[in-house]
Amino acid sequence: MAAKKDTIAVALKYEKSHAPRVVASGKGAVGEAIIEKARESGVPVQENPALAEALSTLEVDQEIPEALYRAVAQVLAYLLRTAGHLR
């Protein structure tokens, strides 16, 4: 199956003492591979094309900018609720 050219995926890591940071980013086939690896590893995936586009401009290992805190916090809250860690 061919990867969609417009697929963008960004993986974030969050440690409580720091802002979330980008740990992987890619478009097309690389983006599809990031999504597949997340699913294989049991990591929840949320589609948010606008946020993925904004985050894809960051370098790997770069913390997210303050301007994206609210959007990323909403995604993290959704993922924590999905995993049963928030009610």
| Residue-wise pLDDT tens digits, 23-80 | 999 999 999 999 999 999 988 899 999 999 999 999 999 999 999 999 999 998 888 8
Which pair of tokens denotes residue 32?
């599809």
Report the distance separating Cα 13 and Cα 43, nearest Å: 11
Residue 70 tokens, joined? 């609210």
- pTM confidence score: 0.83
Q: Could you say which of 1.10.3720.10, 3.40.1690.10, 3.90.1150.10, 1.10.274.10 is the CATH number of the domain covering 8-82? A: 3.40.1690.10
pLDDT at res. 1 = 43
pLDDT at residue 4, rounded to an integer: 61
